[in-house]
Amino acid sequence: MSPSSLSRRRFLGAAALSAASAAGATFVSTSPVTAAPSGGFVPALVIGSGYGASVTALRLGEAGIDTLVLEMGRLWDGPAPFCPMLTPDRRSMWFRTRTAAPLDSFLWLPVVNRDIDPYPGVLDRVDFPNMKVYVGRGVGGGSLVNGGMAVVPQRRFFPEILPGVDVDEMYGTYFPLANRMLGVNSVDPAWWEAADCYSYARVSRADAAKAGYGTSFVPNVYDFGYLEREAAGQVAKSALNSEVIYGNNHGKRSLDKSYIPAALGTGRVRLQTLTRVTGIARDGDGTYAVQTATIDESGAVTGTALINCRYLFLGAGSLGTTQLLLTARETGALPGLNDQVGLGWGDNGNVMTARANWKPTGCVQASMPTLGIDATNDPVPVFAEIAPIPAGVETFASLYLAITKSPERGSFGYDRASGTVSLRWGSTQKDFAVSAAKRVFDRINAANATIYRHDLFSGNRAFGDDFCYHPLGGAVLGKATDLYGRVSGCPNLYVNDASLIPGWTGVNPFVTITALAERNMARVLAADGLHN
């Protein structure tokens, strides 16, 4: 597709998104509706609207396949739909009465989290025993709440990250395509070196260097030109207004600014929000029956529907997709699924930690990370994102999200009595990741005569070791599916999201999820003869 036709599609799709928002509508289209939201038949149905789902919808639309996208969260549009981290309100979290940010105290005081009214807010935390998983909810999925770090994994690790996937093809074609489509850009190093809002990163870089660790700049989907104008006081502040995990009002090229308008602009893709898929099954005629529940902003179910489709694409993320598949297998709705469904889940070795470094790190910290500590040559490879603490006051702290090469994997189980799916993750399964991160930060602390902060995570802990931002796996490529996401034992059923990745990407994962989804769609559309 030429850049000009892509821009035209994005323009048409963006207009459709804002018109829908203005009308309070939940059904978005740039063409006459051919599949009623209340039921009926649609050739292709995509569940979710995160990275994998958005790629899928765009490529199906371009191929002329009429496609319906169902998203359980809302459309976040309008002039400033999100709330800052420092003043969270009901928009912050998915149906909670209190926010649940990962750093839950400061100087041991419970000043971070706030009481809120239940609402379909943008960040969800799904709690399992020993593991709390953060995910985005809304049109754009995780792209709405994430730090925007757009990192291509080191090529030497790729054969371990996604065994069986052609490395040359990924690095030659699909990673560059994903970066282009997502609008990835890099910070101007000269501006960065002098910017007050990145003083926290420069302090961490110097501390890492004293311990013999190098750092590297990391690209992002946040528009760094916009950030420069924020810093110069020329535009409304977002990254400089402590906006990130509850959404960014400006500057960020989330999926609702990139893939999704482009998909809607094909005129073949429709999007229905606040609609959760509650079950999937295969009918006798080979079509898939998708059961849905639509909610209003109070969470009350306002309607249910059964939609049939010929091609079903699961893009509900690692938790959502695995939950739907496992339930379908265990209830007999999709008996053809193999025993690999629900296995191979990993947390990308995520561990958060903070150091008290005695030096000021800056009152106003840009919420978009730009630098990572490269400890990938350590015995256990570690890549540590230098994370901001956008607290608005001087904290004398440095925060990190370490991605460690942890071999630990969890699995999902289905409980027949309650009909629910839960993650099995043992209380010691983070130990490996914590000790890998600790080796790196012990060395940095020793070189700088600094110590860990114990006041930020509940229970006096130095390591945030009970949660993750990067859930991966559950329907692993080449195991629960073939090497292109076609689900084994279920013709015309596809997985195309983080569930395909077996637990670790070495870096922040969304560029890999996007690139893999592009590669899978290229093959499926070329080989599977999809039609309306």
Minimum CB separation of residue 248 from ligand FAE in Å reads: 12
Instruction: From 402, 425, 313, 339, select the one nearest 68 (Cα to Cα).
Output: 313
- DSSP H helices in 360-452: 431-448
Burial class from Cβ neighbours inside 10 Å (0-12, 13-18, 19+) for residue 77 reads middle
Minimum CB separation of residue 315 from ligand FAE in Å reads: 6
Instruction: From 454, 445, 528, 441, select the one nearest 484 (Cα to Cα).
Output: 528
Cβ proximity to ligand FAE, 445 vs 487, nearer residue: 487
DSSP-derived secondary structure letter, 155: G
Minimum CB separation of residue 53 from ligand FAE in Å reads: 6
Instruction: Say whether residue 148 binds ligand FAE (CB under 6 A).
Output: yes
**In the chain, how many H helices and how many E strands?**
12, 20
DSSP string, 453-474: --SSBGGGBSEE-SEES--B-S
Q: In 3-state terms, the chain is what percent helix, strand and coil (to 5)?
A: 30, 25, 45
Tell me which of 14, 101, 103, 149 binds ligand FAE, using CB under 6 A.
Answer: 149
DSSP-derived secondary structure letter, 174: I
In the range 211-250, which residues lie near ligand FAE by CB under 6 A? Answer: 245
* Contact between residue 409 and residue 345 where contact means Cβ atoms under 8 Å apart: yes
Instruction: Say whether residue 509 binds ligand FAE (CB under 6 A).
Output: yes
Rounded CA-CA distance 443/418 in Å is 47
Instruction: Say whether residue 276 binds ligand FAE (CB under 6 A).
Output: yes
Spacing of C-alpha 211 from chain mean position: 32
Cβ proximity to ligand FAE, 47 vs 231, nearer residue: 47
Cβ proximity to ligand FAE, 54 vs 450, nearer residue: 54
| Paired residues of 54 in beta bridges | none
Cβ proximity to ligand FAE, 259 vs 452, nearer residue: 259
Tell me which of 61, 142, 346, 410 binds ligand FAE, using CB under 6 A.
Answer: 142
Site string for ligand FAE, 466-485 (x = CB under 6 A): ---xx---------------
- Nearby residues of 14 by Cβ (< 8 Å), 6 or more positions away: 257, 261, 265
Rounded CA-CA distance 334/290 in Å is 12
Rounded CA-CA distance 485/273 in Å is 25
Rounded CA-CA distance 185/188 in Å is 10
Rounded CA-CA distance 114/58 in Å is 38
Minimum CB separation of residue 81 from ligand FAE in Å reads: 15
Site string for ligand FAE, 155-194 (x = CB under 6 A): ----------------------------------------
| Interface stretch with ligand FAE, choices 28-36, 205-213, 316-324, 331-339 (CB under 6 A) | 316-324
Instruction: Say whether residue 510 binds ligand FAE (CB under 6 A).
Output: yes
| 190 three-class SS | helix
DSSP-derived secondary structure letter, 236: -
Residue 10: in which H helix or E strand, if any?
helix 3-23
Minimum CB separation of residue 233 from ligand FAE in Å reads: 26
Instruction: Say whether residue 502 binds ligand FAE (CB under 6 A).
Output: no
Instruction: Say whether residue 346 binds ligand FAE (CB under 6 A).
Output: no
In the range 405-444, which residues lie near ligand FAE by CB under 6 A? Answer: none
Cβ proximity to ligand FAE, 64 vs 176, nearer residue: 176
Tell me which of 497, 503, 506, 520 binds ligand FAE, using CB under 6 A.
Answer: 497
Tell me which of 51, 158, 213, 463 binds ligand FAE, using CB under 6 A.
Answer: 51
Site string for ligand FAE, 60-99 (x = CB under 6 A): ----------xxxx--------------------------
Tell me which of 136, 344, 372, 506 binds ligand FAE, using CB under 6 A.
Answer: 136
DSSP string, 270-300: EEE-SEEEEEEEE-TTSPEEEEEEEE-TTS-
User: Rg of the chain's alpha carbons, rounded to an integer?
Assistant: 22
Tell me which of 76, 134, 383, 441 binds ligand FAE, using CB under 6 A.
Answer: 134
Cβ proximity to ligand FAE, 144 vs 445, nearer residue: 144
| Interface stretch with ligand FAE, choices 262-270, 315-323, 327-335, 338-346 (CB under 6 A) | 315-323
| 67 three-class SS | strand
Minimum CB separation of residue 300 from ligand FAE in Å reads: 17
- The residues that are catalytic are 385, 470
| 159 three-class SS | helix
Cβ proximity to ligand FAE, 320 vs 502, nearer residue: 320
Instruction: Say whether residue 320 binds ligand FAE (CB under 6 A).
Output: yes
- Nearby residues of 26 by Cβ (< 8 Å), 6 or more positions away: 20, 37, 74, 75, 272, 273, 274, 275, 294
DSSP-derived secondary structure letter, 154: P
Instruction: Say whether residue 47 binds ligand FAE (CB under 6 A).
Output: yes
| Interface stretch with ligand FAE, choices 46-54, 177-185, 412-420, 452-460 (CB under 6 A) | 46-54
| Interface stretch with ligand FAE, choices 6-14, 156-164, 208-216, 309-317 (CB under 6 A) | 309-317
**Under the rule (CB under 6 A), what is the footprint of ligand FAE?**
47-53, 70-73, 134-137, 141-142, 145-149, 245, 276-277, 315-318, 320, 469-470, 497-498, 508-510, 513
